[in-house]
Amino acid sequence: MTWVRRGGERLLDRRVTPRAEYRRTAPGLLELDGLRCAVRDLGLGGLRIEPAPAGRVWEAGQHIVGVLQLRTGGRMTVSGRIRRIDRAGLAIFPETGWPGPDAIDAERAALIRNHQERRAAPRLPLPPPSSGGIGQRTPLLDVSTTGLRYVLGPAEPVPAAGSRVEGELRLDADAVIPVRGRVVRHGGGEVAVAFDPPGLTPEVLAMLRRRFFPTAP
């Protein structure tokens, strides 16, 4: 076990303890003073928020109390202190109410399983929308049962990782599929969204395939 000493305190070094890392997936959630904060990693030694919530001043040593939402279910009230502030975000060391080793291991396993399932899901690349359509259209790159990728418009702002998105997969005037999810990554003018459970069914994906590729075997 590794410890660091800060101002006479002995603190568990969060950098070397096992952590649940929310990378290439929607971040975890810490509700703090009415703010929804994106958690990038979580362990026995604390958690990291990126970016730091805007709209207020944060100070090293500041005591915080918030509600932590785990992927594996359940909400817990946790308290801690801000131990580091940098340009990317905040590092918070735990005090009370923190998840134990079993909860951290379960969260890590759930994230790994979710990543493997999402990457293994069959993906359907979609052709660009035809010109002359009516209404706003967002060009989709591909869609699967667990998520989609789309192209940002010329003046469209880049959504923050972890932010919620809602929209519709519109096949024609009568066939509309509502979708909801969270942004898991963006770059190069592309945005990847992971659907909220249960996502799309294989039957819907097959319908999309028939709609866009009617001559495919």
**pLDDT computed for residue 131 by the predictor:** 47
**pLDDT computed for residue 130 by the predictor:** 52
For residues 83 and 142, membership in a common domain is answered with no
**Ranges of the chain whose pLDDT falls below 50:** 1-8, 10-12, 14, 131-135
**pLDDT computed for residue 78 by the predictor:** 95
For residues 7 and 88, membership in a common domain is answered with yes
For residues 104 and 144, membership in a common domain is answered with no
For residues 27 and 83, membership in a common domain is answered with yes
For the chain, the residue count is: 217
Please report which residue ranges of the chain form alpha helices under DSSP H: 101-120, 202-212
For residues 57 and 129, membership in a common domain is answered with no
Owning domain of residue 114: 3-118
CA nearest 18: which of 109, 92, 153? 109
Final residue in a domain of this structure, among 118, 136, 170: 118
- Residue 109: inside a domain, yes or no? yes
For residues 14 and 110, membership in a common domain is answered with yes
Final residue in a domain of this structure, among 93, 118, 143: 118
**pLDDT computed for residue 67 by the predictor:** 93
**pLDDT computed for residue 134 by the predictor:** 36
**pLDDT computed for residue 65 by the predictor:** 95
For residues 137 and 57, membership in a common domain is answered with no
For residues 9 and 82, membership in a common domain is answered with yes
Final residue in a domain of this structure, among 98, 118, 138: 118
For residues 151 and 208, membership in a common domain is answered with yes
For residues 148 and 77, membership in a common domain is answered with no
**pLDDT computed for residue 44 by the predictor:** 87
Residue 187: both structure tokens together: 């770059």
**pLDDT computed for residue 1 by the predictor:** 34
- Residue 217: inside a domain, yes or no? no
For residues 133 and 107, membership in a common domain is answered with no
**Which CATH number fits the domain that encloses residue 137?**
2.40.10.220
